[in-house]
Structure 1
Amino acid sequence: MDITLRPHDDHTNGWSAILPPRRAHATLRQKLDADWLIIGAGYAGLAAARRLAHNRPNERIVVLEAGEAGDNASGRNSGFAIDVPHNVGSSTAELEKAVNYKRLMKAGIAWLDGIVRERGIQCDWSEKGKYHCAAAPQLAETLLRQHAQELTTLGEPYEWLEQAELARRLGTSFFHAGIYTPGCILLNPAALTRGLADSLPDNVTLFENSAVTRLERGRMIFASTDHGAVSARQLILANNGSASQLPGFERQMFNVASYASLTRPLTAQQRARIGDVEEWGVTPANAVSGATMRYTRDHRLLIRQQFDFTPGMRVDERVRGRIREQHKEVFLARFPELGDVAMEHFWMGFFSITRNGAPRWGKIEPNVFAAVGCNGVGIAKQTIAGVTLADLACGVENELIADMLELGAPSRLPPRPFLDVGVKAYLAKERWVGRQEY
């Protein structure tokens, strides 16, 4: 079938813009035969490629990436490798599988930590933990208290922090209360994705700027691009939102856009106004209405806020302009004393959501495997999804495969236009429930 749905790249990713220039891997311009074809060079695809290379060192693995590593969705997130599950909106569905997610996410971080150290990947890898915060007292007493109870049940260390202590650590008195957990890793996601892509084993060949335009599945896999083609015995789909158009994935996930702004580095004088605090990361009690925030190692502030339903994975420039202004308001609500700090970068990224929070993971056909439907916060989750998928495909024992299977499968979505109405209504409800988090 022809492949037409792919994310629109606005070429404005702030995380990669602050890095040194990188030379992309070659575009596919030939016909190749391979043992394995992986579509997508994000966290799942790169982890699967690396694990396959270990499991099958004498087999040829080809990875096709529509854009460039670091400028795809994996390089556009907020840069949190999260180790424990938490609520994203007002829903606590992920917490129902907390034990499984805990094992998986910690394993994903450990896997990445080993590669970052072994390969010397410079991505500002920082063991600073994270704060999960609420501005509204009622959300602190509901969602945050429930999160604290779950952490206690899991045996995970945490600190409950009231407004004054949060203000001292974060430099803002915006939040009523928060929970600090020490195991989260903060990083530059574009730098990490670049480093993973540029350090793949010798039997893996990555082609960038090589979007698949036609895919045929059968006894053999055939994938065509604008300038080349690959035939392979086995296929791994790690293309997340773009997978929704493929047979076998209909009405299982929908795509949303998220937006981020990154300031210029704060001057010494500006840093002094907020207490010259250390690097930190904040996730909001309600991510749909609140803002995910980072204070980076090089003294920049990041705001990621606003979600939009984007089935075509494109966003009108008028919408982008409105959200840019919205981010300035969100920033000043938290840091009114930093009105002279300029926003240097603004960008968007797309990710996929399933109705019940379960990923689309596992064996799809005898020679087709998938790790898609990330539901956000995917650095650790999608990394271990790729590792375990490669083991499943190769018949290698891995106790974490049982945890992945325990997460279940996506529940079926309604057809459009009912889906459009339902998603927009859900987002509107979440914004209303968490309106004080804005």
Structure 2
Amino acid sequence: MQQIKRLPTKDGQLGWFESVSFQRPMPVQQAKKNENFDIIIVGAGFTGLATAGRLAELRPEARIALIDAMEVGQGASGRNAGFIIDLPHNLDPTEPDVEANTKVRDLNGFAIQRLKRIQEQQGFDVCWHEAGKYLAAHEEKHLSGLTDFVNTLEAIGEPYEILNDDALAERLGTHYYKRAVYTPGNILVNPAALAISVASALPSNVTLLENTAVHEIDLASKVIQTEKARLSADIIVLATNAFTEKFGVSPNRVTPIFTYASLTRPLNDSEMKAFQGISPWGLTSAHPAGTTVRLTSDKRIFIRNTLNYQPALSSTEASLDKAKMKHRQSYLARFPQVPDVPFEYTWGGMICVTMNHEPVFKEHAPNVYVIAAMNGVGVAKGTYLGNYMAEYICGKQSPELEFILEHSAPSWIPPDPLRSAGAHIRLSYEEHMARGEV
């Protein structure tokens, strides 16, 4: 049995999870008795949820377990910025050719439509807002990144709008940015709320087991030992992202990068006058290490920045405090007109990346499958990879699955201590280069 020595932790106050506006319809169920299933999926983020949902459709007779060390919405799926990105962007630089970019766009679009159907079916308020997205630059030297993005958009026939200075400020309520490229297809959500909504839609042949950490696993015999139960299956799927190496799978392929976010309390009516006539919006930086900003539909301001490498797969109180100070500086630089709005929540979360930006998507051993490394676009990418992993398991072929398999060969990353040293140097360099975009 492989002992799992690192388990997920909460890493701060999880703002999206804590601010979910509805009561989840299903109770939290923990594994408390030994059971056998046809399929066990480890990891109930967007990837695991999509895998379970599609497997249940394709194999309605199968008994499927979806297990997670935390509650749905508390892991990486509920800690991101809440963008469901429809286009290739700066954290997901797939092949710079029209065909590959078009296929990525279409796969993202498929994921958005699947999530939208579930959302409409369930009817929960997940703050779903078809707001589009701004890719913005504050400093002159980063305008070239916008030009590269426009060239990609034109090559694949996607609509966009370029906004400068005052015209941009009228959309955002801040004069901080010099220029932005607006694209209309991105969706903004409360990601924790969306994950809970998707989980609530799982068919009856899926058993969701939360607060059920894997303590030991034997992939050969397909046995999982949790705190209170021993679970076994014919097929195991690891949708474990940054924790995948801890399961003895895909060594030296994925790197966990910690980033941090803060969410203000809701702005009051007086403070909202600074944003009069402005709709909820989301903005990512022209530099990958820059700050992500949102004005949410429940009148909060979201700030995310700061990157560091945490091989322990958890953060520290000191790192959270340092990030919160940086968030305050970023907030004041952008919104000096409402300086006294405090942050209600600050948390950390992991982006799981690979050197060449390709995910792990494979059959690791007979009837053991692995999906990991969304490279910063996890809501859409995790959803479509999970869907097509289910089809892969069931032998259902398609051009989409063929494309995914052809682009799922993450390159080798050196082990620690070289990985640690390299990550620290690279992240420090990127944050230095981003400066004004932070």
TM-score band, normalised by shorter chain: over 0.9
Q: Which moved more, 1:343-352 or 1:207-216?
A: 343-352
Are 1:39 and 2:53 matched, yes or no? no
Q: Show the counterpart of 2:83.
A: 80
Distance in 1 of aligned mates of 2:196 and 2:124? 9
Deviations, residues 289-344 of structure 1 (Å, cap 9, x unaligned): x1111111111110011111011112221121111111111000001111121111
Q: Show the counterpart of 1:66.
A: 69
Q: Show the counterpart of 2:338.
A: 338
Q: Show the counterpart of 1:54.
A: 57
Residue correspondence of structure 1 range 314-333 to structure 2 within 5 A: 314-333=314-333
Residue correspondence of structure 1 range 39-438 to structure 2 within 5 A: 39-88=42-91, 92=93, 95=96, 97-140=100-143, 142-218=144-220, 220-288=221-289, 290-438=290-438
Distance in 2 of aligned mates of 1:217 and 1:323? 38
- In structure 1, give the amino acid aligned to 2:160: Y
Offset of 1:13 from its aligned partner?
Answer: 0.5
Distance in 2 of aligned mates of 1:55 and 1:195? 21
Paired residues in the alignment total 433
Q: Show the counterpart of 1:18.
A: 19
Distance in 2 of aligned mates of 1:403 and 1:397? 11
Distance in 1 of aligned mates of 2:35 and 2:12? 29
CA contact (8 A) 1:362 1:392 kept: no
CA contact (8 A) 2:11 2:316 kept: no
Offset of 1:216 from its aligned partner?
Answer: 0.4
CA contact (8 A) 1:87 1:95 kept: no
Distance in 2 of aligned mates of 1:119 and 1:399? 30
Distance in 2 of aligned mates of 1:94 and 1:398? 20
Distance in 2 of aligned mates of 1:73 and 1:184? 19
Which runs of 5 or more residues in structure 1 are unaligned? none
- In structure 2, give the amino acid aligned to 1:81: I
Q: Which moved more, 1:416-425 or 1:268-277?
A: 268-277
Indicate how the Cα distance of structure 1 residues 183 and 271 shifts in structure 2: closer, same or farther if over 3 A, else same.
same
Offset of 1:21 from its aligned partner?
Answer: 5.1
Distance in 1 of aligned mates of 2:11 and 2:23? 17
CA contact (8 A) 1:123 1:191 kept: yes
- Any idea what SS the aligned residue of 1:234 has? strand
Q: What TM-score results when the alignment is normalised by the length of structure 1? A: 0.96
- Any idea what SS the aligned residue of 2:182 has? strand
- In structure 2, give the amino acid aligned to 1:254: T
Aligned Cα root-mean-square deviation (Å): 1.5
Identity %: 36
Deviations, residues 236-266 of structure 1 (Å, cap 9, x unaligned): 1101111122333111111121111111111
- In structure 2, give the amino acid aligned to 1:412: W
Q: Which moved more, 1:257-266 or 1:400-409?
A: 400-409
Deviations, residues 65-106 of structure 1 (Å, cap 9, x unaligned): 100001111011111000001113xx9456554233212111
